[in-house]
Amino acid sequence: MRTALVMALVLTWSLSQARAQETGDKKPAASCEKQESRCPGVWYTSENCRCKPNPRCQACRCGECTGGDKCPCVEKVRKGTGTLTGTISHKTVAKFPTVVYVDEIPDRKFAPPDKPIVIDQKNKVFSPGVVPMVAGTTVDFLNSDGFEHNVNSPDNEKFNLGNWGQNEKRSYQFTRPGAYTLLCSVHPEMVGYAVVVKTPYFAVADEKGNFRIANVPAGSWKVKIWNERLKPKQLEAAFAVTVEEGKEAKTEIKP
């Protein structure tokens, strides 16, 4: 009887070991255990107390994907979010990529994506040239050209990552909301923009000014816009929108 029990325990233990090895899961760090109820059945990585992300969730980029069988932000499409669509009517929109974003959701802070996003330097062009991101996002700056590039910004806290060659990368974490001009000291003609905002609810409008932001929490929010040609007053202007659960809210923005 006792032997059978020991055998069963050993079998259960080796099965769970095999599963852990298969998935590469780690046990939660003791300091992370308080958060466990947020993602039942999913191990944390010990380094940063976050749930193991579900690969299915990564496409939605809500910054809240914590793993498990269901993606919390996909669930939220049904529970408490809607879609914000609309048009920005301004002469600059056709030529200059324009970011539209929900300025803030009071009392909520949003985690950056688990993985860095990428801005390449190719044929002496920052690609993409205008990149919105939630505060805390890390950018991997690549160099795909056969010569050296540099990345620096004269804006906000200012940074200079130095120079590096082809197929190398250097990273920078954008923690402070604001627009950063991205420059290359080797090629004065190169210019790009990182637009750091407080929420993950943003989009770049097309050349007609149309935009679509999915999974926006239901509620009344202020929307702002950014492009390199808008004046400070236009950048500060906040446009009221109301998003209803499961519905599409349509708005026209006239800066």
**Which residues of the chain form contacts with Cu ion (CB under 5 A)?**
149, 184, 186-187, 190
CB of 127 to Cu ion, least distance (A): 12
CB of 139 to Cu ion, least distance (A): 16
What distance lies between CA 212 and its chain's CA centroid? 16
Q: Which is nearer to Cu ion, 54 or 121 (CB)?
A: 121
Q: Are 83 and 214 in contact (CB under 8 A)?
A: yes
Q: Which is nearer to Cu ion, 29 or 186 (CB)?
A: 186
Parallel, antiparallel, or unpaired for β 191-197 and 130-134? parallel
CB of 173 to Cu ion, least distance (A): 21
Q: Which residue is nearest to Cu ion (CB)?
A: 184
Q: Which residues of 65-97 are buried (b: 16+ CB within 10 A; e: fewer)?
A: bbbbeebbbbebbeeebbbbebbbebebbeebb
Q: Which is nearer to Cu ion, 40 or 165 (CB)?
A: 165
Q: Which is nearer to Cu ion, 143 or 199 (CB)?
A: 143
Structure-token pair, residue 198: 């407080």
CB of 124 to Cu ion, least distance (A): 6
Residue 216 DSSP symbol = E
